[in-house]
A and B are shown apart, each in its own frame.
Chain A
Amino acid sequence: MPKRLEKKVKQMKNKTIKVDYIARVEGEGALYLKIKNNEVADVRLEIFEPPRFFEAFLRGRPYSEAPDITARICGICPVAYQMSAVHAMENAFDVTIPQEIRELRRLLYCGEWIESHTLHLYMLHAPDFLGYDDVVQMAKDHPDIVKKALRLKKIGNDIMNLVGGREIHPINVKVGGFYKVPTRKELMKMHDDICWARDAAIETAKFAATLTFPEFFQDYECVSLVHPDEYPFNEGRIVSNKGIDISPEQYDFHFREEHVEHSHALHSRIRERGNYLVGPIARYNLNYDKLTPLCKEIAAETGLGKECYNPFKSIIVRGIETIYSCEEALRIIDNYRMPDKPAVDVEPSEATGYACTEAPRGMIYHRYRVNSEGLIEDAKIVPPTSQNQKTIENDLRNFVPTLINLPEKDLVWKCEQAIRNYDPCISCATHFLKLDIQRE
């Protein structure tokens, strides 16, 4: 039990456990869990959702501002947000980009996946598994692991910096391509670092596999992009393991977002069936055959198999996807041909555009309606966390009964770990902002 959390836990006479944290900036996160007769009577996860503000903010603005503005939705996955906006606008205006630009875009995703997965895996999720309060405590016993994680993450950031112009809010991306493209020489300078990163990622996946996992399996409806030739970053059909196979244009016919009384965020559902899963496990299960031989070899070595339905093992899948990102980055750099010009011309028109791309934590959907002057009239942005929110609640509903006899403080900790399987995009750092457990 983390010491800091322990201090915050108060046992109350009606068996309510309350953990309070001061909310800051990216919103509020809270979990309410009611246990009655040793069964879970109610689970409510409440999260704040930034995209709602951005949807309103985008209205009336030129289409060309969408990439830069949406990049600000998330400081850790700006690429997926901005590239979804770019793809949606290109879909609206019927823009086709050359292969060289497409490859650079995939390289940008590689950078984002490396930095985001590494941060989550080592700095946030591993301390949960190893029983540390946080990465600061973990570093005291394992400084070399943490140093390696920082270097690996930095290489991801360096790729984003080189291609995106800036790592935190890439500013070099525009509808139609880039403002400036790197030279082959500039990319080749990163080659040795990325080779190191690939080897470090292999060690990472193997390290993740040494952690102890609860025997917990769920029959998820996995949803991710599927592309005929590649592991999905930026393009593909929306596919599920229970029969969905649609283009992004058809998203709204099959998925809907609903207001839930206890949450500021909208919950996404498959119209016919209900909750579903996006993110590393969903991608892995639907795209295993598109992984490289090395990824498959390491996956086999870690005991992962071709499919995974234990959400706690998402930490291994993140390791495998980090290997993939490094290999893909090397492939792109080795074969790089500088585009003739950094972007193709774009002629806006009155149209609606749709796109889905894969953020490290799952699929993002964007839809924009643009008028004849190129101004945005309507925007819809569905982030991965709102798609997973109902599934996180279901996991807790099914996971908590296996822990029912644990002391409350350990139960709180296990719940946090289960939520962190999803790398959710909500405020509250290493520990939950507010967590109530009521027992009756």
Chain B
Amino acid sequence: MNNHDILVIGIGNEYRGDDAAGLLAARKLRNYDLKGIEVIENNGDGAELINKWTGRKKVILIDAVQSGSKPGTIHEFSAPGSILPSELFKFSTHLFSVPQAIYLSASLGNLPQELTIYGIEASSFESGTKLSAEVEIAVNNIVHLVSKII
């Protein structure tokens, strides 16, 4: 696998509090020497995620989630493999969600060989541009972790 086969996607909305976690992680990752590995941002539009990861071998998604765990907790899922609880991820009437994108992509046969999802447990999705302290620490941790494994 060469570096062009790898894609990192940070997902979120920077104006909804901790939902920005994935986007900020992506921006911080770009400060590292990633040797040509592409890092992109996405608002959670599942159809676009499929279009972006089609043809890649290894994809890492970073998104905020809400499961009731302690804020800042990092959840790890892999696809195919883990069952993805759809209520953890972003919903919207005119998007479809990250889990749906993964299941749809699997059904269409264009899921990357290796897809890892890091979900950062959010504290608040209220309108605003500030991360909670716990999530800010988790973002730094995930950036460090991802920079090591890619």
Chain A residues with CB under 8 Å of chain B are: 21-26, 29, 50, 52-54, 57, 72, 75-76, 116, 119-120, 123-124, 134-136, 139-140, 143, 146-147, 149-150, 153-154, 157, 167-169, 361, 420, 423-430, 433
Contact = CB atoms under 8 A, between A and B. Distances in A.
A426 B13 contact: no
Contact of B96 (A54, A72, A134): A134
Contacts of A429: 86, 91-93, 95-97, 100
10 A-B pairs closest in CB distance: A75-B43, A53-B127, A429-B91, A22-B87, A136-B103, A154-B51, A139-B107, A26-B92, A25-B90, A136-B104
Contacts of A361: 94
Interface string B77-120: 00000000011111111111100100110011000000000000
Among B42, B45, B47, B91, chain A packs the most CB atoms within 10 A around the CB of: B91
B108 A75 contact: no
A24 B94 contact: no
A136 B47 CA distance: 11
Contact of A24 (B42, B91, B108): B91
B48 interface: yes
Count chain B CB atoms within 10 A of each CB in A25, A50, A123, A167 and give the residue with the most: A25
A123 B49 CA distance: 14
A352 to B, nearest CB: 25
A430 B19 CA distance: 20
Given A22-B66, A135-B100, A423-B93, 17 more contacts: A21-B87, A21-B91, A22-B88, A24-B66, A26-B13, A52-B127, A75-B45, A76-B94, A116-B94, A120-B94, A123-B46, A135-B104, A168-B42, A168-B43, A168-B48, A429-B92, A429-B93
A200 B146 CA distance: 40
Which of A24, A135, A143 has the largest number of chain B CB atoms within 10 A? Answer: A24
Given A26-B13, A54-B15, A146-B108, A124 B87 contact: no
Contacts of B42: 168
A29 B13 CA distance: 18
A168 B23 CA distance: 12
B44 interface: yes
B136 to A, nearest CB: 18
Contact of B92 (A52, A134, A140, A427): A427
Interface in B114-142: 125, 127-129
A427 B93 contact: yes
Contacts of B6: none
A135 to B, nearest CB: 6
A419 to B, nearest CB: 8
A143 B15 contact: no
A426 B92 CA distance: 6
A290 B53 CA distance: 39
A72 B50 CA distance: 21
Interface centre among A135, A167, A433 (most CB of B within 10 A): A135
A119 B45 contact: yes
A425 B15 contact: no
A76 B104 contact: no
Contacts of A168: 41-43, 45, 48
Given A75-B13, A139-B104, A140-B107, A26 B91 contact: yes
Interface in B24-63: 41-48, 50-51
A136 B48 contact: no
A320 B104 CA distance: 26
A26 B103 contact: no
